[in-house]
Structure 1
Amino acid sequence: MNLSSLGFLRSLRKDNKQFAVIGLGRFGRAVCQTLHGLGYEVLGIDTDEKRVTQVLTDHLASHALQLDSTESYALKQAGLFEFDTVIVAIGNYVEESVITTLNLKEGGVPHVVAKASTEIHVKLLRKVGADHVVFPEHEMGCTLAKTLTQPSILDRFDLDPDNSIVELIVPEEFHGRTIAELQLRSRYGLNLLAVSQDNKFEINPSPNKRLQKGTAMVVIGSNKDINKLPI
């Protein structure tokens, strides 16, 4: 997941247990399956009756309905405007995606997440009020490029275009040295959040803890400073 969504995620009510997903293609099905597997109530929506039936058959959602989300009245009748969070997963149909997003926002849905397929699509969704826009193909491409050029980085969470949280393998240069000795903040401009210990992460480790090569560490800082690490 991309940390550009942090503000959005924080704004979700902690007691929110219901989500609606509009568009039951591969992306929408994956969202339904994950949310439902985490114990949330999920309503799946699609214009294709076969997709609706399949989602129920595969137990990927609590409920599923066939309807045209470009019709505001249909959304209202189905109770979509009562949901706190609706995910619009109609990425490959720009017009339907934009109209659906607009309908949801005009209907008073507090948080609308929408999938985009192009940069122009991203702009259109933001113009009509989408609270958060995901662009999976772009994000996966960026992640792949960073993985190929920085193999020591295990995972990356982008806070914004300039700052990230990264999980990386402890560089050999850091092996056997204490956190205090490394002076990550003064030397690299980074803050250490956690280090791995017996297959678990130790949060805010002691300055006297010695790092071991082959284990993992998690740091936060600017991408420019992260790139200075000996990885």
Structure 2
Amino acid sequence: MSDNNNPSSNTAQQKLKNFFSLDLSSLKFLNSLRKSSRQFAVIGLGRFGRAVSETLYNMGYDVLGADVDEKLVAQALTDKIATNAIRLDCTEANALKEAGIFELDTVIIAIGNYLEESIITTLNVKEAGVKYIVAKASSETHGKLLKKVGADLVVYPEHDAGCELAYTLTKPGILDRFELDPDNSIVEVCIPPEFDGKTLAEVKLRSQYGLNVLAVGNDDKFIINPPPQYVLTQGLSMVVIGSNKDINRL
């Protein structure tokens, strides 16, 4: 079962980075999630579930980890990647209830490579009334089934990682990408040497490339919706939106 707008604020930067990696249809769900969620359950402590649990725990959230594999549960406790970790069969609704999982704000079902267990667990959690459900999918069909049985957000970590690697290897100037559809994307790109010292108005991204600039900055500071007179500097990056064809020309 185990598997794997304050322009100068870091908050604005983080929201922008989150926007790259998530489906637009999930933004409403995520906005409500950020307002209220403080307790999480992670079911499946393989590579993906372990990473999610450890990150949440290190951020200060209460995390209950669960897996049918006793070794993975013991490892989670030893490595202190969760507030608590227990062994259970997640396909059994009574076991989930007794563990207190139904009482938590958010349940992350990280068992994407086991379709039947993944779908049954999602259904059990949904029927119990858990407020927010995130599920890992191993295929598009799997993801559709998870949506149908109640997942609020479906993630495809292997697919996303593969796409990111391909773009990194072939388009080194592109730092991050979010595909709106097969033809259009939002990307974070390195500011090319040809743009150094020029204003946004001078480089004419909209008229010459058909692209709109959403933000300019670096890891420490992003300026959202920069004005036309903003001077570009090599070494910084800019976030643009447009067609893939125009982005590749840039």
How far off is 1:40 after superposition?
Answer: 1.0
1:76 to 97, 104, 109: 97
TM-score between both structures, scaled by the size of structure 1: 0.88
| Residues 43 and 118 (structure 1), Cα distance of their counterparts in 2 relative to 1, 3 Å cut | same
CA distance in 2, matches of 1:142, 1:82: 36
Residue aligning to 2:29: 8
**Match status 1:24 vs 2:56:** no
**1:80-122 Cα distance to aligned partner (Å, 9 max, x none):** 2222211001122111111101111111112211112233322
Does structure 2 retain, via aligned residues, the 8 Å contact 1:6–1:159? Answer: no
How far off is 1:161 after superposition?
Answer: 4.3
CA distance in 2, matches of 1:140, 1:197: 22
Alignment of 1:109-124 (within 5 A): 109-124=130-145
TM-score between both structures, scaled by the size of structure 2: 0.82
1:190 to 184, 205, 211: 211
**1:164-202 Cα distance to aligned partner (Å, 9 max, x none):** 332111123322211122232343333223223695333
CA distance in 1, matches of 2:117, 2:43: 11
1:52 to 73, 85, 105: 73
Residue aligning to 1:214: 235
2:113 to 92, 103, 109: 92
Alignment of 1:32-181 (within 5 A): 32-181=53-202
Which piece of structure 1 moves more, 67-76 or 206-215? 206-215
Which piece of structure 1 moves more, 86-95 or 11-20? 11-20
Which piece of structure 1 moves more, 199-208 or 7-16? 199-208
Does structure 2 retain, via aligned residues, the 8 Å contact 1:3–1:160? Answer: no
CA distance in 1, matches of 2:220, 2:102: 44
Does structure 2 retain, via aligned residues, the 8 Å contact 1:85–1:113? Answer: yes
How far off is 1:65 after superposition?
Answer: 1.6
CA distance in 2, matches of 1:177, 1:16: 44
Moved over 4 A (4+): 159-162
| Residues 161 and 179 (structure 1), Cα distance of their counterparts in 2 relative to 1, 3 Å cut | same
Which piece of structure 1 moves more, 190-199 or 26-35? 190-199
3-state DSSP class of the match of 2:37? Answer: coil
**1:120-148 Cα distance to aligned partner (Å, 9 max, x none):** 32232223221111122211121122222
Matched residue count: 229
Does structure 1 retain, via aligned residues, the 8 Å contact 2:200–2:230? Answer: yes
Richer in helix (by share) = 2
How far off is 1:158 after superposition?
Answer: 3.4
**1:46-101 Cα distance to aligned partner (Å, 9 max, x none):** 11222112112111001112111101111122222222211001122111111101
| Residues 129 and 197 (structure 1), Cα distance of their counterparts in 2 relative to 1, 3 Å cut | closer
The one-letter amino acid of 2:162's match is: G
CA distance in 2, matches of 1:215, 1:85: 36
CA distance in 2, matches of 1:69, 1:198: 40
CA distance in 1, matches of 2:56, 2:68: 21
Work out the percentage of aligned pairs sharing the same amino acid. Answer: 67
The one-letter amino acid of 2:165's match is: L
Bigger RCO (CA 8 Å, 6+ sep): 2
Please list every run of 5 or more consecutive structure 1 residues that lacks an aligned counterpart in the other structure: none
